[in-house]
């Protein structure tokens, strides 16, 4: 018997079991979760750096940043972040996206608080960095309801805009769409389009962390409830729409998109 015959070939089932054990070990390894959390912190930092930086740079250098540039730049940043680190953490960058994925059963609820915490920290660090470098108040990088319009008007706008954004996120993450990284273009494109037409009223935040960071650094929370309640309600509505369009979540494609590829917990096999 040759040496090759002494060592039987590993069958598909054995390879699958070995791969499953390795993934379980990776998930239980706290170093992997640290990578996910750092990914979310860093990604949210970059997003708020651009989103809040537009307003703050515009105040420091009047006439240098147009409204169109201020709303398109964060969209391009989100696209880049999804492409370069989406496989690590899912690139949520937004508390309501994490909650929506959890409601869809594509993301484990126990990991939601950690994601939200580091998203808020990343946003705050970005606002602190901008204030120290540009030397203007972080207030200019936040979002507020437009003068002469009610908070409720901005609330409804944020709700509808976020409902659309989260619908795009959940839809492009679904296995039914099967579009992979091209989903980054859909998400980034939606953010740009929403900002171009809706930012004069509410700022088109669609992200509580994006508004929270500058508000915390400037100690100004006027109207913050709009940017917390509106996006949250919009995300819940989008989750319901996703159920109507594609049924329950929890499948391999949606879970992989929500959690990244360090480890994926599949709730229901065959679902998207």
Rounded average pLDDT over 28-42: 82
| Number of residues assigned to the chain | 272
Rounded average pLDDT over 32-37: 88
Pick the residue with more confidence: 20 or 87? 87
Lowest mean pLDDT among 2-6, 72-76, 115-119: 2-6
- The predicted structure's pLDDT at residue 271: 57
What pLDDT, in 10s, does the model give residues 99-139? 999 999 989 999 999 999 999 999 999 999 999 999 999 99
Whether the predicted pLDDT of 57 surpasses 50: yes
What pLDDT, in 10s, does the model give residues 83-96? 988 888 889 999 99
Pick the residue with more confidence: 21 or 75? 75
What pLDDT, in 10s, does the model give residues 136-165? 999 999 999 999 999 999 999 999 999 999
Structure tokens at 166: 């989260």
Taking every pair of Cα atoms in the chain, the longest distance, rounded to a whole number of angstroms, is 88
């Amino acid at each position: 018997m040759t040496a090759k015959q002494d060592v039987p070939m590993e069958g598909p089932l054995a390879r699958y079991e070995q791969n499953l054990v390795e993934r379980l070990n990776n998930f239980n390894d706290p170093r992997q979760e640290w990578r996910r959390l750092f990914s979310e912190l860093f990604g949210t930092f970059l997003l708020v750096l651009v989103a809040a930086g537009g307003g703050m740079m515009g105040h420091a250098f009047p006439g240098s940043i147009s409204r169109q540039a201020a709303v398109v730049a964060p969209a391009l940043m989100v696209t880049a972040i999804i492409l370069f680190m989406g496989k690590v953490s899912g690139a949520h960058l937004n508390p309501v996206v994490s909650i929506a994925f959890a409601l869809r059963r594509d993301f484990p609820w126990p990991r939601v608080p950690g994601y939200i915490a580091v998203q808020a920290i990343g946003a705050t660090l970005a606002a602190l960095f901008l204030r120290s470098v540009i030397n203007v108040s972080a207030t200019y990088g936040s979002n507020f309801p437009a003068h002469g319009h009610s908070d409720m008007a901005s609330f409804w706008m944020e709700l509808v805009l976020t409902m659309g954004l989260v619908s795009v996120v959940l839809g492009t993450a679904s296995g039914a769409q099967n579009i992979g990284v091209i989903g980054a273009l859909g998400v980034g494109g939606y953010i740009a389009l929403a900002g171009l037409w809706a930012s004069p009223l509410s700022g088109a935040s669609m992200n509580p962390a994006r508004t929270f960071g500058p508000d915390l650094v400037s100690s100004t929370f006027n109207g913050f409830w709009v940017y917390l309640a509106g996006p949250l309600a919009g995300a819940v509505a989008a989750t319901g729409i996703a159920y109507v369009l594609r049924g329950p979540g929890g499948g391999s494609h949606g879970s992989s998109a929500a959690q990244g590829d360090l480890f994926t917990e599949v709730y229901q096999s065959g679902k998207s």
